[in-house]
Structure 1
Amino acid sequence: MDALLARRVAGERLEDVLGWARFGGRRWVVASGVFVPRQRSTALVEAATAHARPGDTVLDLGCGTGALAGALADRVPGLVVHATDLLPAATACARSNLPGAHVHTGDLFEPLPAGLRFDVVLANVPYVPTAGIAHLPVEMREHEDRRTLDGGADGLDVLRRVLAGAGERLTGRGRLFTELDEAQTGPAVRCAREHGLDAEVLPAPSGEEDEEDGSRVLSVRVGAPQVAMSTNRE
């Protein structure tokens, strides 16, 4: 206990000291540097749960521990789960936490088999603006891989890449759910539309915005094809 306490006092994340993080009513294996699931991401899982059907093919994009896909699978039976992450330490955790899932190490959609499409994509990608990282708690700044936090100048660099590739990875009824700051929703919606996607900001749980962090969930789907209108006048 003294040794564990000393590690915590020295600034290590509580989850690293314990070896696990609690999310969605369960414990998930964590390793040093791997993104720890935040409780606010419960809203992301709830939104996906409302859309998912038994037997759906699901992707946890930038999965970290895999807790989001795992929590969704706990709620919806029979899902076929895929997960990707750039960090080998993260995919090692995901393999431990998601027995039977297909876990791929690589950047976003890149390591996935060609042509594979998904009914649900959970994309909790980095959305902290670079300048904002200096204001995060020290345990996050010093003990989480910066690539799991840094979203570029406006926090949307990684999400833009996700939206650019989402159209060819979603099924006809597929939806991508992502978490972002409320102030980022306008630019994110515009970016989605530029890539032929429909996007909507979902209401906060219980109709109340999260006063602590202001995060919101964005739901994205492939846009309906535009029907050309005749200009002939007779």
Structure 2
Amino acid sequence: MTGSKSAGVDTTKPSIARVYDALLGGTDNFAADNAVVEHLAETLPEISEVARINRAILGRGVRYLAGTAGITQFLDLGAGLPTMENTHQVARSLQPEAKVAYVDFDPIALAHGRALVEHSEGTVVVAADLRSPAEVLADPAVAQTIDFSQPVAVMLVGILHHLHDDEDPAAIVDSYLSAVPSGSHLFITHFCDSGPEARALEKSFLEFLGTGRFRTHEEVLGLFRGLELVEPGLAYLPEWRPTDGAPGELTITQRLMIGGIARKP
């Protein structure tokens, strides 16, 4: 896609959702987004693998939530552009009546998301900023889709690392968790400060995209405070309930993200 404006979108500035789309080999991105990918690849040539690993755990996580945990409601925050195995598709393969509210503020992500769910009853795409939980929770489409008296899966997959420390991601998580009842679950994946390579990549993210905090294991674990982590706890993504056996010794790339799911008691 080319040009400086498209459907009111400033394509001269990179977007988190579109950079992620480019990393996954999608076509809904622009020169500014691809420039970020090129800069990131200078630091880590295998950067696209990180995006694919994160996308793969979304499917495994939703299967756990809908299957083992029996969750039928999903609040997918910072959902990004649709791709293979989206949350509602995976959830409904196990829970046919599952309801999903996707939340994002990227105009292109919203347009494609709405097209995807146009004929999917019980699924909505909401234009809102996840950094404003009160706004998200009060949105009429969210309120009509999600019954907050029943367990909800609150999903923050690959997004909290794009919040700066002064935006207090822990407080944002707490706000969403305070709105859902016992039996709800929190699903987070996050960049991990696992070594010098991670810190070099963080520098590139911050320089060329403006966001991308690689937090320590302890910092990410703090986001699950007061909750009960399910096995295997907070883990590198390839080690979180792999479907094709233990991954063996992990590469640097495979150690760049961690994630987990926890239950609200």
Give the TM-score normalised by structure 1: 0.59
Q: What corresponds to 1:97 in structure 2? A: 116
Residue 181 (structure 1) shift: 2.8
Could you say what secondary structure the match of 1:172 adopts? coil
Of 175, 184, 198, which residue of structure 2 is paired with 1:174? 184
Deviation at 1:28, TM superposition (A): 7.7
Instruction: Assess if the C-alpha contact under 8 Å between 2:71 and 2:152 holds in 1.
Output: no
Q: 2:156 aligned to 87, 102, 123, which one?
A: 123
Deviation, 1:165, is 1.6
- Look up the equivalent residue of 1:151 and give its one-letter code: L
Residues in 2 aligned to 1:210 and 1:51: alpha-carbon distance in whole angstroms:
28
Which 10-residue stretch deviates more, 100-109 or 62-71?
62-71
Question: CA shift at 1:62, angstroms?
Answer: 0.6
Kindly report which structure 2 residues correspond to 1:17-56, keeping only aligned pairs within 5 A, or say none: 30=28, 32=30, 38-41=51-54, 42-53=56-67, 56=72
Structure 2 CA distance for aligned equivalents of residues 44 and 157 of structure 1 = 24
Which protein is bigger by CA-based radius of gyration? 1
Of 99, 120, 125 in structure 2, the residue corresponding to residue 80 of structure 1 is 99
Q: Structure 1's 212 and 39: CA in aligned 2 closer, same or farther, altered over 3 A? A: same
Structure 2 counterpart of 1:152? 164
- Matches of 1:22 and 1:181, distance apart in 2: 15
The alignment status of 1:207 with 2:221, answered yes or no, reads no
Corresponding position of 2:37 = none
The count of corresponding residues between Structure 1 and Structure 2 is: 181
Indicate the percent of aligned positions where both proteins have the same amino acid.
16
Q: Report SS of the residue matched to 1:173.
A: coil
Contact 2:73 2:99 in 1 (8 A): yes
- Residues 47 and 29 of structure 1, relative CA distance in 2, 3 Å threshold: same
- In the alignment, does 2:228 pair up with 1:198? yes
Amino acid at match of 2:65: H
**Pairs within 5 Å for 1:2-17:** none
Show the counterpart of 1:63: 79
3-state SS of the aligned residue for 2:159? coil
What are the ranges of 5 or more consecutive residues in structure 2 without an aligned counterpart?
3-13, 34-47, 194-215
- Quote how far apart the aligned CAs of 1:47 are: 2.0
Distance in 2 (alpha carbons) for counterparts of 1:217 and 1:176: 10
Q: Is contact 2:152-2:184 (8 Å) kept?
A: yes
1:186 maps to which residue? 218
Segments of structure 1 that go 5 or more residues without pairing to the other structure are 5-11, 129-149, 225-234
Contact 1:60 1:66 in 2 (8 A): no
Aligned to 2:6: none
Q: Residue 152 of structure 2 aligns to a residue in which SS?
A: strand
User: 2:22 touches 2:29 (CA, 8 Å); kept in 1?
Assistant: no
Q: Report the residue type matching 1:40 in the other structure.
A: I
Tell me how far apart the structure 2 counterparts of residues 189 and 120 of structure 1 sit (CA, whole Å): 18
| Contact map agreement 1:198 1:220 (CA 8 A) in 2 | yes
**SS at structure 2 position matched to 1:107:** coil
Q: Deviations over 1:120-173 (max 9, x none)?
A: 232124355xxxxxxxxxxxxxxxxxxxxx3325xx956424422232243432
Are residues 219 and 212 of structure 1, via their aligned partners in 2, closer, same or farther at CA, if it must alter by over 3 Å?
same
Give me the TM-score of the superposition, normalised by structure 2: 0.54
